[in-house]
């Protein structure tokens, strides 16, 4: 059995001309940093993090740290889904830390996580945003290998998230469920199975937003609420404190519906958060 103990460290800083650059980067398999791309209109640096291996295996330990300095703007994406493969007994562990300084901007928008049959995966995410910093963090999950009819078949999935803004804890979440248990949650939304009792390809999305600019008016909230419909349940909640924190939850009938909702949400939010106008094309 192959095991990786990989790390990723990225530090984004603003130059005197206002452009963001990677002031420091370090990575080891299964992480690889691809080509970066500066979007002059959105004034944001886009970086792709690539996994050159087949996916995440039993015993893998992955650690990533991404920090954004004052005045810098960074978008981190991935070019493909992250696959967690079948495991005999152990698990794979991923530890993520994100930090944004005052007047900094970070958007983390990876492709979805795909859990294979009998896989076990534990992910802990710690986010720290200084007062005046801005953040968009997304975590997307599919029910498994849909094309192969293998859905809700993983053994255990643990996702832990903590968000602090200005030193105050504004959000702490924990999901610890088997595939069957999460399928039952999908069924509450009417997406867990069809009339014949067969599994549907329900997908989950969890997005955290932090920006004081989202408190200035309410039209964007009404537009987000308008995305709720028969193919996707969309919920938006304000987080504690006065930091401009919001939690956006999505349950979609399939990956296509999820992609449409996420794309529409980014377009709506970009009117208040111009950095989100950066293109998502592969580079």
pLDDT digits (tens, 9 = 90+) for 168-180: 999 999 999 999 9
Instruction: Report which secondary-structure segment, H or E, holds 179.
Output: helix 179-188
| 220-254 tens-digit pLDDT | 999 999 999 999 999 999 999 888 999 999 999 99
Q: Is residue 282 part of a domain?
A: no
Residue 224 belongs to what domain range?
5-277
Domain count, the chain: 1
Which range among 109-113, 122-126, 201-205, 273-277 shows the weakest confidence by mean pLDDT? 201-205
Q: Is residue 89 part of a domain?
A: yes
Q: Give a yes or no: residue 175 inside a domain.
A: yes
Residue 249 is assigned to a structural domain of this protein: yes
Tell me, yes or no, if the pTM score tops 0.85: yes
Structural Rg of the chain based on CA atoms: 18
Answer yes or no: is 283 within a domain: no
Average pLDDT over residues 144-168: 93
64 occurs within a structural domain: yes
Read off the pLDDT of each residue in 197-205 and give the average, rounded to a whole number: 73
Write a three-state SS string for 153-169: CCCEEEEEEEEEECCEE
Phi-psi region of 18 (alpha: psi -120 to 50; beta: other; left: phi over 0): left
Residues 51-62: tens digit of each pLDDT: 867 789 999 999
- Domain membership of residue 257 (yes or no) is yes
In this structure, is residue 216 part of a structural domain? Answer: yes
In tens, the pLDDT along 54-96 reads 789 999 999 999 999 999 999 999 999 999 999 998 999 999 9
**CA 129 to CA 167: how far, in whole Å?**
8
């Amino acid at each position: 059995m192959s095991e990786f103990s990989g790390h990723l460290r990225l530090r984004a800083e603003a130059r005197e001309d206002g452009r963001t650059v990677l002031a420091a980067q370090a990575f080891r398999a299964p992480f690889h940093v691809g080509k970066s791309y500066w979007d002059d209109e959105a004034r944001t640096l886009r970086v792709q993090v690539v996994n050159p291996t087949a996916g995440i295996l039993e015993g893998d330990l992955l650690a990533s740290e991404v920090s954004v300095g004052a005045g810098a703007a960074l978008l981190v994406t991935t070019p493909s889904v992250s696959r967690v493969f079948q495991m005999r007994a152990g698990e794979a562990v991923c530890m993520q830390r994100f930090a944004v300084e005052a007047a900094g901007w970070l958007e983390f928008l990876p492709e979805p996580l795909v859990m294979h049959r009998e896989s076990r995966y534990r992910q802990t995410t710690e986010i720290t945003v200084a007062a005046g910093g801005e953040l968009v963090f997304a975590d997307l999950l599919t029910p498994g290998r849909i094309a192969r009819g293998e859905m809700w078949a993983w053994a255990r999935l643990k996702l832990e998230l903590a968000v602090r803004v200005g030193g105050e804890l504004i959000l702490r979440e924990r999901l610890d469920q088997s595939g069957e248990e999460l399928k039952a949650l999908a069924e509450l939304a009417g997406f867990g199975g069809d009339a014949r009792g067969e599994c549907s390809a329900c997908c989950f999305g969890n997005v955290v937003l932090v920006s004081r600019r989202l408190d200035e008016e309410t039209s964007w909230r009404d537009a987000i609420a308008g995305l709720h419909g028969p193919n996707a349940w969309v919920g938006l909640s304000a987080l504690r404190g006065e930091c401009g924190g919001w939690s956006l939850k999505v349950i979609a009938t399939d990956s296509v519906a999820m992609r449409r909702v996420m794309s529409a949400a980014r377009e709506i939010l970009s009117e208040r958060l111009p950095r989100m106008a950066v293109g998502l094309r592969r580079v």
